[in-house]
Amino acid sequence: MVDKDVVRRGYDALAETYAADRGREGRGRAILARFRRSLPESARVLDAGCGQGAPVLRDLSASATATGLDVSRTQLELAAESVPDASLVQGDVAALPFRADSFDAVTAYHSLIHVPRDQRRRVLEEFARVLVDGGRLLLSEGTDEWAGTNPDWLDTGVEMQWYIAGAARTREHL
């Protein structure tokens, strides 16, 4: 079971290590570029679980009004440095602090993997609530269901927890 406080404390404690470890290129960036091109001009986009802001929030802010949301205050401090034009909000993806119909698009790159199993549907309902009619959602996670914990993630002595619903269950929730 994922404990959100463990996840928040973990990302606060290893924010810089995680930022240095996070991949900058690859298939996810190409998919994001196609997604960005499909958005309307002047799109308002929420990056749910933005972390340190790179690369997703930074890429979004190049062509949209971007807002980053993350549970970790320390990750948001790094995001403020790397994406100074983005609005940043600390919060929980299961209770988004935004009005209905606030965004043309929502991205969630590997952030759902830290949501407890019993809150997954609620998070997707929150995404739907803040999206305008016809809004777009881009999310990523693992293809197979898996849950786990690592008491020494990235060799830092910091615990991290995950729950990956997998493709089939995520489709059901959507």
Instruction: Give the CATH number, domain containing residue 52.
Output: 3.40.50.150
Give pLDDT tens digits for 79-104.
999 999 999 999 999 999 999 999 99
pLDDT computed for residue 151 by the predictor: 97
pLDDT computed for residue 128 by the predictor: 98
| 65/87 Cα distance (integer angstroms) | 8
Domain count within the chain: 1
| 72/89 Cα distance (integer angstroms) | 10
HEC string of 41-104 equals CCCEEEEECCCCCCCHHHHHHCCCEEEEEECCHHHHHHHHHHCCCCEEEECCCCCCCCCCCCEE
Antiparallel, parallel or unpaired: β 87-90 and 103-109? unpaired
pLDDT greater than 80 at residue 26: no
Q: Distance from first CA to last CA of the chain, Å, rounded?
A: 21
| 167/108 Cα distance (integer angstroms) | 14
Looking at every residue in the chain, the average pLDDT score rounds to 94
Q: Which of 38, 48, 63, 37 is nearest to 107 (CA)?
A: 48
Q: Name the token pair of 107.
A: 């991205």
pLDDT greater than 70 at residue 107: yes
pLDDT greater than 90 at residue 62: yes
Q: Which domain holds residue 166?
A: 4-173
